[in-house]
């Protein structure tokens, strides 16, 4: 289900991104100049030397298109980053990882000695906490040490899965500026090639295309990388916090198993001392 959700979010992000591009069209109609049908303006009248209308500005899509293939790859990474942030914000929540009431229900069932019922209760709400509790209860016959070890192993496995899940944001945050640097190098190559082709007589306008490409790709890479790395740091701290909370809650819920095992006899009786033996 997580892959389906990510694909759906990718599509929604793509539609929203395309809509924002379409909304940022070039500037509106040029300001109206002096009336052309009224003939020449009499000397001494209002000044007819109005400033010429500025050339039509570039849209956001034009700027992205100028960055070429490198800019397209960075744009795809930005869509993936937005989809991942939305997906993590929906799934990395306390109510999802630790469903309310699950720990209390398991604790009451274990206190009543209904271990099988407690395991079925965990299967009804699959989550981080449920996986840890179910793994621990599976070792109930091995004593508290086995229960505690199983809970620690399950928590470590689930936390590693969560960290691998958010690691993609870190990958995007590191790749995006490198792609921007690649675009910068490509743009400078274009600019210096123009200088070489013209035997050093290239004008500033001839070099502008390559420099423009270099600057645009650099900005695109940084715009994608900075939010991606910030989101990765936020979700990493959130995972650390929830893993610690889940471990504490699981230990509290499994406490009846420890008390029950502690009440059982733990040692075999020692052999009686030999009769009539010397000290």
Whole-prediction pTM = 0.70
In a domain, 28, yes or no: no
Tokens linked to 180: 């921007």
In a domain, 46, yes or no: no
In a domain, 184, yes or no: yes
Per-chain mean pLDDT for the chain = 76
Q: Is residue 277 over pLDDT 80?
A: no
In a domain, 189, yes or no: yes
Distance in angstroms (rounded) separating the CA atoms of residues 221 and 25? 23
120-157 tens-digit pLDDT = 999 998 999 999 999 999 888 888 889 999 999 999 99
Distance in angstroms (rounded) separating the CA atoms of residues 1 and 21? 30
Quote the pLDDT of residue 274: 54
In a domain, 32, yes or no: no
In a domain, 13, yes or no: no
Quote the pLDDT of residue 191: 72
In this prediction, what percent of the chain has a pLDDT beyond 90?
A: 42
Residue whose token pair is 């993936």: 80
Q: Is residue 233 over pLDDT 60?
A: yes
In a domain, 49, yes or no: no
Return the closest-CA partner of residue 137 out of 124, 155, 151: 151
29-58 tens-digit pLDDT = 444 444 444 444 444 444 444 444 444 556
In this prediction, what percent of the chain has a pLDDT beyond 70?
A: 63
Higher pLDDT, 229 or 50: 229
Task: Please count the structural domains in the chain.
Answer: 1
Could you tell me the sign of the dihedral formed by the alpha carbons of 81, 87, 90, 92, in that order? Answer: negative
Quote the pLDDT of residue 229: 95
11-26 tens-digit pLDDT = 455 545 554 544 444 4
Per-residue confidence band for 257, with pLDDT thresholds at 50, 70 and 90:
confident
Give, in order, the Cα–Cα distances in Å from 14 to each of 3, 20, 165.
Answer: 16, 10, 21
In a domain, 271, yes or no: no
**Domain range spanning residue 208?**
60-263
Distance in angstroms (rounded) separating the CA atoms of residues 80 and 74? 10
Distance in angstroms (rounded) separating the CA atoms of residues 230 and 232? 5
Tokens linked to 260: 């029950």
Per-residue confidence band for 227, with pLDDT thresholds at 50, 70 and 90:
very high
């Amino acid at each position: 289900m997580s892959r389906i959700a990510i694909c759906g979010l990718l599509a929604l992000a793509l539609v929203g991104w395309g809509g924002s591009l379409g909304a940022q069209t070039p500037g509106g109609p040029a300001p109206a100049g002096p009336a052309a049908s009224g003939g020449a303006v009499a000397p001494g009248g209002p000044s007819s030397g109005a400033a010429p209308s500025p050339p039509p500005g570039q849209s956001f899509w034009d700027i992205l298109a100028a960055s070429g293939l490198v800019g397209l790859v960075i744009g795809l990474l930005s869509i993936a980053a937005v989809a991942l942030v939305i997906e993590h914000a929906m799934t990395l929540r306390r109510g999802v990882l630790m469903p309310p009431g699950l720990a209390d229900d398991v604790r009451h069932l274990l206190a009543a000695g209904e271990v099988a019922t407690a395991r079925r209760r965990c299967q009804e709400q699959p989550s981080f906490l449920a996986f840890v509790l179910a793994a621990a209860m599976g070792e109930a016959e091995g004593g508290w040490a086995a229960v505690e070890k199983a809970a620690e192993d399950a928590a470590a496995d689930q936390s590693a899965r969560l960290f691998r899940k958010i690691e993609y944001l870190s990958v995007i945050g590191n790749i995006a500026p490198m792609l921007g640097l690649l675009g910068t190098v490509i743009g400078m190559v274009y600019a210096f090639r123009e200088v070489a082709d013209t035997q050093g007589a290239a004008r500033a306008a001839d070099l502008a295309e390559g420099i423009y490409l270099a600057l645009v790709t650099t900005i695109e890479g940084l715009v994608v990388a900075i939010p991606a790395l910030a989101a990765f740091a936020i979700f990493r701290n959130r995972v650390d916090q929830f893993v610690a909370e889940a471990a504490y809650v699981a230990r509290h819920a499994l406490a009846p198993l420890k008390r029950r095992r502690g009440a059982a006899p733990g040692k075999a009786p020692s052999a009686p001392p030999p009769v009539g033996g010397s000290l």
